[in-house]
Amino acid sequence: MLKTYNCKKNIAGTLIKEARKKKKMSKMDLSKKLELKGVCINRNQLLLIEKNQLLLKDFELAAISEILDIDLNNLKNYLDN
């Protein structure tokens, strides 16, 4: 059984989407930057991550947060959203 929290497969998707839009970066741009770091997430997978519909691995979250300058301490704010 896949673990979920409040019927979501991740809680970081909203934070990622907000940070990506703030940087005016497309999902394709983010995907390309991730690939340079050795993390393969395509545009469609990013869409599902941002909609909290795809499980996010810790190394993927670390790479995304580095590219988008996300402070992972902010994740706790998304537990109740």
**Cα–Cα distance, 16 to 81 (Å, whole number):** 14
Residue range(s) defining the domain that contains residue 55: 13-72
7-42: per-residue pLDDT in tens?
899 999 999 999 999 999 999 999 999 999 999 999
Greater confidence (79 vs 22) lies with 22
Q: How many domains does the chain have?
A: 1
Q: How far is CA 74 from CA 9, 19, 24, 38, 70, in A?
A: 18, 11, 20, 25, 8
| Residue 80 banded pLDDT, cuts 50, 70, 90 | low
The pLDDT of residue 76 is 84
The mean pLDDT value for 43-53 works out to 97
Percent of the chain with pLDDT over 70: 96
> For position 57, which CATH number holds?
1.10.260
Which residue type does 62 have? Answer: A
DSSP of 7-44, one letter per residue? TBS-SSHHHHHHHHHHTT--HHHHHHHHHHTT----HH
In a domain, 5, yes or no: no
